[in-house]
Structure 1
Amino acid sequence: MAALAAALVAGMACTAYADETATLKRIAATSTIRIGQRVSSVPFSYHADRRRVVGYSQDIMLNIVAAVQNELKLQSLTIALAPITSQNWIPLLINGTIDIECSSTSHTVDREQKVAFSNTIFVIGTRILSHKDAGIKDFGDLAGRRVVITAGTTAERSLHRFNEEHSAGMVITAAKEHDVAFQQLEAGTVAAFVMDDALLYGERAKAREPDDWIVTGTPLALEAYACTMRRDDAPFKALVDRAIATLMASGEARTLYDKWFTQPIPPKGMNLNWPISNRLVELFNAPNDRPIE
């Protein structure tokens, strides 16, 4: 009986510890940080080969990891990676499978009810990728055409709203990942791929003939990308925000932009050739964690 009572007390203690332990305490106790990774969000977070995740957001994530290790004074910090999609990243954060993800996630007011967002790391617009000879210049030209988007994204909601409000008659299909959507566009099964412009430039750069494809259209919406964490963990969010703000104040964020958007990137030396926007320059000068609504 004494042994059983001791076991029950120990079990209760473990449960209480799990309930009360914040992210930084768990990382300190295990010397492990669990990171969600997108694997096809070029050039933010993607596989350069079968094992290596690289990208603009990944470099920011590695700076955050270094800041966590320094804050906790850990001799080493193991990174446990978990692949995520637009459909599953929120449940994986909430259930504790991952501690943080930093890829190409849009900060919206609706999502704030479920997860916490870091300082913004990028600003994008929802636009169109199509063949240069398709006669598509803006969203009105998509009327009656087949269009693909990536499932579970804010771009999906924006496009469906446009289609309904303008009675455009688009046939909208959803692909699991960005690269799958672009494969449909290259194959000619759809006339356009609607998504965040930065990601469209990434897919265009991977094409067999990049010059055959154009990113066009007045943005349906402007959105802020940010890293995401569990809600109600202010110390962890504050540390992540400081790491991002430091990157921007030091000029390192601008260096990372040039590295991933204006220079050849792995695995094939493709170049997005996308000059930095005024909105992003403004963000680097004044970091903040506000969505664009």
Structure 2
Amino acid sequence: MKKMFLIPLALALGATGAAADTLKKVADSNRITLAYREASVPFSYLAGPEKPVGMMVEISEAIAAEVGKVTNKPNLEVRWQAVTSANRIPLLTNGTVDLECGSTTNNSARGKDVQFAINHFYTGTRLLVKKDSGIKNWSDLAGKTVATTTGTTNFQVMRKYNADKNLNMNIVAAKDHGESKLLVESGRAVAFGMDDILLYGLKASDRNPADWDVVGEALQVEPYACMLRKDDPQFHALVNRVIGGMMKDGTFEKLYAKWFTSPIPPRNANLGFPMAPELKENLKVQSDKPAT
């Protein structure tokens, strides 16, 4: 499998009709394009120069395999396209990518533009700080510069909390999670507010994990889910069938243990992040309920 950064314009335009039909699009072209994130550890990230890895990369591959079966395309080409928080929805809706599985929050606002699959994770906004910063909670950030990533729900949550609590934080939005962390590392910000699991992943991937802490109360609990185009019931059913099947037969729990409570590449760090009660419950009920 290889990364793919450009596709023909005609193909992109072909997916923007009133009703999407991803399975037909894939069958006609004999290829499916899967989105990946470069730094959403351990869901979807680059551990080397080429192929993405992560729990949701493996689930995306399982979905692609099922697509190959139902479209009778045993040699289906799987392409990978890097996306960011800011461009992931536009690249999905315009047909550049066919599926995005990573660390995207399922909420009602995004549900106007895309369709979400079964929720596969639950998280809250917390803070990544240098261990010697003295910052333990949000109240310690009054009047200070705080980083987050543009195009994320965290940015809106933090802005509201800042206004509600009159903290007078200067919230700076970087283009991606790596740049947000760099703002803290370089001293241009004192903390990085983001989904707690992503912060644990960034900490574990650092050359000196012991220099960092994840602190603060979670401002909210939100679900992650895979995104696909709206008005595409056949593909939606297929994606849910694959994810739901994994949740039912124990495959999902094995993947979770592999990526969240075991050593992972590139540094063989263990996130030590046990499954949340909300996710344990959703393995049974398989809800796609969005965040409010």
TM-score, normalised relative to structure 2: 0.91
Q: Give the distance between the partners of 1:120 and 1:63, measured in 2 at CA.
A: 16
Q: What code does the residue aligned with 1:220 have?
A: L
How many residues align? The count is 277
- Whole-angstrom CA distance in 1 between matches of 2:107 and 2:184: 28
Matched, 1:219 2:218: yes
- 1:156 equivalenced with 2:155 (yes/no): yes
SS at 2:124 equivalent = strand
- 1:266 partner amino acid: P
CA distance in 2, matches of 1:186, 1:204: 11
Aligned residue identity for 1:149: T
Q: Deviations over 1:2-54 (max 9, x none)?
A: xxxxxxxxxxxxx8xx7777111111122211112211111111111110100
Q: Which residue of the partner structure matches residue 24 of structure 1?
A: 23
Residue 6 of structure 1 corresponds to none
Aligned to 1:199: 198
Gaps of 5+ in 2: 1-13
Partner residue in 2 for 1:256: 255
CA distance in 2, matches of 1:274, 1:224: 16
Measured in 2, the distance between the counterparts of 1:113 and 1:21 equals 15
Equivalence for 2:100: 101
RMSD over aligned Cα atoms: 1.5
> What's the counterpart of residue 129 of structure 1?
128
- Alignment deviations for residues 148-175 of structure 1 (CA, whole Å, 9 cap, x no partner): 0011100011001111111101111111
**Within-5 A mapping of 1:110-129:** 110-129=109-128
Q: Which residue number corresponds to residue 172 of structure 1?
A: 171
Paired with 2:245 and 2:20, the residues of 1 have a C-alpha distance of 27
Q: Percent identical across equivalent pairs?
A: 42
Please state if 1:188 is matched with 2:187: yes
Secondary structure at the counterpart of residue 133 of structure 1: helix
Aligned-partner residue type, residue 152 of structure 1: G
Q: CA 1:20/1:163 → structure 2, altered by over 3 Å: closer, same or farther?
A: closer
CA distance in 2, matches of 1:20, 1:209: 49
In 1: Cα distance, 2:93 partner to 2:273 partner:
35
- Deviation track 1:62-91 (CA, whole Å, cap 9, x = no partner) reads 111112112223222111221111111111
Shift in Å at residue 136 of structure 1? 1.8
Secondary structure class of the residue paired with 1:214: strand
Could you say which structure has the larger radius of gyration? 1
2:49 aligns with 50
Q: State the TM-score, normalized to the length of structure 1.
A: 0.91
Counterpart of 1:287 in structure 2 is: 286
Q: Give the residue type in structure 2 aligned to 1:176.
A: K
Gapped regions of structure 1 (runs ≥ 5) = 1-14
